Amino acid sequence: MISYKVADISTSKTDNPKATLLIIYTGGTFGMAYDESGSLAPFDFSHVVEKIPDLKTLDVTFTVITFTLPIDSSNIHTHHWKAIGHIINENYLMYDGFVVLHGTDTMAYTASALSFMLQGLSKPVIFTGAQIPIGAARSDARDNFLTAVEIASGKENGRAIVPEVCIYFNHKLLRGNRSQKIRSSQFGAFESENYPHLAISGVFIEYNYSYILDRNGADFDFHGTFDSNVTVLKLFPNIQQNILENILGTDGQKGVVLETYGSGNTPNYPWFIECLKEANERGVVIFNVSQCNGGRVIQGRYETSKKLEEAGVLSGSDITTEAAITKLMFLLGRYQDIPSVKNQLVIPISGEMNS
């Protein structure tokens, strides 16, 4: 059970603010500030306006929910995903949008997981964070947070402009389940190689409307169960048979994301294909994704991948590894029968892949 504390904050100068938002602070570099001893420590988010006074220029009111024990995102777990999802679900009707502050290392995994949990979403859920703590002079936290708040509160004709789970970072708004962290030492930490940016922030926020999900008329539906009996297997030259057999034969193993070469290619050694076939026959779901940033799996394009479909391996098209593993966990948690998992795995359910 995740415990948290709540603070209500208003920066609106009227009784009718532009939007009411829920801010969820889970942890990460973003929320660090210098204490009296000069050391970086988590700061109290009820004082966020003191750190970012420009919030007063936005006509919004918001509630801040802070995890009592902030998480280093390297320690993220499915129960953290569930906690964030439950908070949004329980407060869905009360707020116009949501901003989730999260560590960058696993942000793309959490954003992907939330995109599957929050089906029929008609409100923005914007993830953001920082490469440099908010208490540091050159921090990117202020701009990331301010713009995330502005996007989360954005409406046109009474409807949210971006009714989906996104990551906003370094002037770019990306679909959450299309995003990957590709840099650790630059402000532009995230990219979306296989899908266009949903918006670019400059003097104005320029939305790429044609690529934003249209969920007009969809009913909001929350599903918060994940099955963690999955793994990622990245291929490499000279992978050994005993290694593959041990991974595929792990007790309780239900699903494997197979990171293959290029457009979905693997070794075509008879023992390799047979290992995959035997695992599939035991009910292990094997999902083929490309190791390449911007890669797309096209099973059968080359001779080395033709045998995969015969072995029961499923093509992940242009899905990222982060979205693939969270989608596999989500579907295994939601459906009891493997055919239903396989049917849903190969089609887009939240804009995470092309058909």
Q: Which two tokens stand for residue 287?
A: 């999902």
Alpha helices (H) in the chain, listed in sequence order? 48-51, 78-90, 107-117, 141-152, 241-248, 270-281, 303-310, 321-334, 338-345
Question: Which residue bears the tokens 């208003």?
Answer: 10
CA distance 176 to 165: 5
The reply to whether 29 belongs to the active site is yes
Catalytic residue selected from 11, 14, 20, 29 = 29
* Cα separation, 124 vs 213, whole angstroms: 11
Residue 289 β-bridge partners? 259
Given a contact cutoff of 8 angstroms between Cβ atoms, the answer to whether 197 and 136 are in contact is: no
Q: How far apart are CA 82 and CA 224, in angstroms?
A: 6
Q: How far is CA 183 from the centre of its chain?
A: 16
The DSSP 8-state label assigned to residue 208 in this structure reads -
Q: What is the DSSP pairing of strand 97-101 with strand 19-25? A: parallel
Long-range (24+ apart) CB contacts under 8 A made by 34-38 are 34/135
CB contact set of 153 (below 8 Å; sequence gap of 6+): 18, 19, 21, 58, 60, 96, 97
What are 55's two structure tokens? Answer: 């919030």
Per DSSP bridges, beta strands 125-128 and 97-101 are parallel
Q: Let me know if 192 is exposed, middle or buried by CB neighbors in 10 A (0-12, 13-18, 19+).
A: buried
64: its two tokens: 């801040």
Q: Which residues are catalytic?
A: 29
